[in-house]
Structure formats: structure tokens, C-alpha cells
């Protein structure tokens, strides 16, 4: 029987054990990550944490609604057992009626076939690093190999940083202005996730320098044998000198041969998807579902509240 558990009743040791042992576990679903990324979250649990589903939610205008936090790509149902379309339907139908609206990003292992609700496919790209580096490199696109050869020897160096200040500063000076809507607490939440990932020894912050100038950086958060490409930024010079190509290639070389998947966390943006495919990444797509008991104008207002430019 599926039970709805408010946050206070969730047994985090059992929850995290379920995520760790799931066939589809990911770092987003660990309790420590949810605690930092979500304003509030409750859960659906079945058979003493054999199947679990987090429900991140907010309250606005007197309504409780389920909405995907900005630094979480996939959630949905997790289990060490096979998750069938009927199981997905059971869990979605078990969501309490107090949630008047829901927008849920399921994961790749949550098949949606029988649900008669709004659904939308999203692109994710992953690269399994369990082969020697020379084999992984052979799968690179010809264009990528050519660009890597253009980088002068000793032009770049990799530094692993212990704080996010430099990377966030680079992002704010380059990419922020190109994003129309950014959650008002985005950087605070990112810093909280970084600190928690540091405490849990499951993050790597790689930065590319030329001399003392920061060209690019990526925060990888690691869990359930996946390294998630969570947050990145590049300078205006980075594209010309292929700094991000260099960083990802070095990361792949460092982790080649390990039981680890590089999860590029997207993308529906074809330019970014092409960049990731250049490294031999393959699609592991996932579904967004949406249902509502509210008028359309209220939903639009809720979404506006959720994302407000700083």
C-alpha cells in the first residue's frame, strides 16, 4: 500500500538506503540534496521504503502545488525493483488531493504509458566511463578531436576549487544576462547544495585557467555511480580556445575505467545537446507530467512566482 508521508515522518536512513540501492538512483533524490534544493518536500512510500517518490512542493496564494526545483533535473519513483507503467500510474494517483497542481519531472526508468494526463519528453545525455580512456576518446566526434588538438600545449591548467565564488562570478558576468527568468534564491540554494555535497564528499569543482585567468568551470555532484554536470560557466574567450572541451576531456580521462556515468543533465537545447554528443554521450530521456485542478490563470501566476529574475 502506498502511504503519503509528511516530511516529519520520513525515516531518512531508510529513504537514503532505498535511493542508494535503486536501479535508477540519482543524487537529486537523496534526503540531504532534497533538503537543500526544495523549500519543502513530502513523500509517497510503499512496502517499507521499497518504492519511494519525493514530492517537492510550495505554497502560494493559499494553494499547495508540486513543482520541480531549479537545481533538480529528474525525480519520480525510485526502487531496487522494476518500475512498471502501472506502478507509475498508482503513485501518481496516490498524490494527495491537497496538491491542486503538479508538474513532475520523472526519471528515465519511469515509463509513462497509461496515464491520461499532460506529458512531455525531455532530453538527457549520458556517457558511461567504464572503458579505457583511449576507447572513450575513439568515440569522440572528429570535430571534437580536431578542436582538442588546436589547444597549445600548457596553455590551460586544471584547478580543483574549494569554493564556488569564482565560478558563480563568471556565470553572473556571462550567462545570467542571457537567462530570462532565474529563481530569486538560485545562488543561495546552489551554495547550500555545494556545502552539503562537500560534507558528503560527493562533489568535484573543476576550473580551467590560462595563467591566472579563469576561462571555464563545472561543478560535478556525484552519487549512485553518476557524476552530474550540475552547474557550469565559461568566459567569452572560452569558446574560441575550446576551454570547456578541454575540461570535459580531462574529466573523462581522470575517471576513465571506473564504474561511473557522466550525466550531462540535458539538454533540450540542440546546441548544448550537440556539444555533449561530441563526447559520445547517448540519450537517456525522461518525461515531465502535469495535472491541475486549478484555472489556467492561477497556474500562470504560480509559475511567475516560482521564477523571478533577481
Mapping DSSP onto H, E and C, the string for 74-141 reads: CCCCEECCCCCHHHHHHHHHCCCCCEEEEEEECCCCCCCCCCCCEEEEECCEEEECCCCHHHHHHCCC
Q: Where are the domains of the chain?
A: 2-122+286-306, 125-283
pLDDT number for residue 308: 36
Element (H, E) at 238: helix 236-241
* Calpha distance 176→168 (Å, rounded): 10
- Judged against a pLDDT cut of 60, whether residue 223 lies above it is answered with yes
Cα–Cα distance measured from residue 143 to residue 146, given in angstroms and rounded to the nearest whole number:
5
CB atoms within 10 A of CB 307: 15
Q: In the predicted model, is pLDDT for residue 234 greater than 60? A: yes
Q: What is the mean pLDDT of residues 245-258?
A: 98
> Dihedral (C-alpha) 82, 92, 285, 195: value to the nearest 10 degrees?
-90
Radius of gyration (C-alpha) of the chain in whole angstroms: 20
Q: Kindly indicate the confidence band of residue 296, based on its pLDDT and cuts at 50, 70 and 90.
A: low
Q: How far apart are CA 139 and CA 262, in angstroms?
A: 14
**Domain at 125-283: CATH code:** 3.40.630.30
Q: How sure is the predictor about 115, in pLDDT bands with cuts at 50, 70 and 90?
A: confident
CA distance 282 to 278: 10
Residue 302 CA to residue 294 CA, distance in Å, equals: 11
Query: What are the beta bridge partners of residue 46?
Result: 2, 51
pLDDT given for residue 306 in this prediction: 53
Beta strands in the chain (DSSP E): 2-5, 40-46, 51-60, 63-66, 78-79, 99-105, 118-122, 125-128, 157-160, 203-210, 213-223, 226-234, 261-263, 282-283, 286-292
Over residues 205-218, the pLDDT tens digits come to: 999 999 999 999 99
| Domain 2-122+286-306 = CATH 3.40.630 | yes
Please, what is the average pLDDT of the chain? 92
Candidates 62, 71, 51; CA nearest to 1 is 51
Can 2-122+286-306 and 125-283 be said to share one CATH topology? Answer: yes
Q: How far is CA 61 from CA 146, 291, 294, 302, 303, in A?
A: 54, 18, 12, 8, 12
The cell for 84 is: 512498471
**pLDDT tens-place string over residues 176-201:** 777 767 788 899 999 999 999 999 99
pLDDT at 310: 28
Amino acid at each position: 500500500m502506498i502511504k503519503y508521508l509528511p516530511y516529519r515522518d520520513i525515516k531518512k536512513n531508510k529513504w537514503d538506503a532505498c535511493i542508494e540501492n535503486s536501479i535508477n538512483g540519482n543524487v537529486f533524490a537523496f534526503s540531504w540534496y532534497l533538503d537543500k534544493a526544495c523549500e519543502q518536500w513530502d513523500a509517497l512510500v510503499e512496502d517499507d521504503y521499497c518504492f519511494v517518490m519525493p514530492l517537492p512542493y510550495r505554497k502560494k496564494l493559499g494553494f499547495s502545488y508540486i513543482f520541480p526545483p531549479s537545481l533538480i533535473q529528474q525525480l519520480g519513483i525510485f526502487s531496487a525493483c522494476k518500475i512498471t507503467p502501472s506502478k507509475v500510474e498508482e503513485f501518481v494517483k496516490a498524490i494527495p488531493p491537497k496538491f491542486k497542481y503538479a508538474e513532475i519531472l520523472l526519471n528515465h526508468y519511469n515509463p509513462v504509458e497509461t496515464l491520461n494526463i499532460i506529458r512531455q519528453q525531455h532530453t538527457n545525455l549520458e556517457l558511461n566511463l567504464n572503458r579505457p580512456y583511449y576507447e572513450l576518446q575513439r568515440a569522440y566526434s572528429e570535430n571534437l578531436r580536431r578542436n582538442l588538438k588546436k589547444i597549445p600545449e600548457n596553455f590551460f591548467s586544471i584547478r580543483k576549487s574549494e569554493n564556488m565564488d569564482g565560478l558563480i562570478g563568471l556565470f553572473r558576468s556571462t550567462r545570467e544576462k542571457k537567462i530570462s527568468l532565474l529563481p530569486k534564491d538560485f545562488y543561495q540554494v546552489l551554495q547550500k547544495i555545494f556545502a552539503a555535497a562537500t560534507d558528503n564528499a560527493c562533489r568535484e569543482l573543476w576550473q580551467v585557467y590560462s595563467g591566472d585567468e579563469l576561462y571555464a568551470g563545472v561543478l560535478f555532484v556525484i552519487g549512485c555511480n553518476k557524476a552530474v554536470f550540475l552547474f557550469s560557466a565559461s568566459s567569452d574567450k572560452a569558446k574560441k580556445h575550446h576551454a570547456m572541451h578541454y575540461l570535459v576531456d580531462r574529466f573523462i580521462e581522470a575517471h576513465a575505467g571506473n564504474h561511473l556515468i557522466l550525466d550531462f543533465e540535458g539538454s533540450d537545447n540542440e546546441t548544448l545537446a550537440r556539444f555533449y554528443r561530441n563526447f559520445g554521450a547517448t540519450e537517456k530521456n525522461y518525461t515531465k507530467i502535469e495535472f491541475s485542478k486549478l484555472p489556467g490563470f492561477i497556474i500562470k501566476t504560480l509559475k511567475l512566482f516560482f521564477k523571478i529574475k533577481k
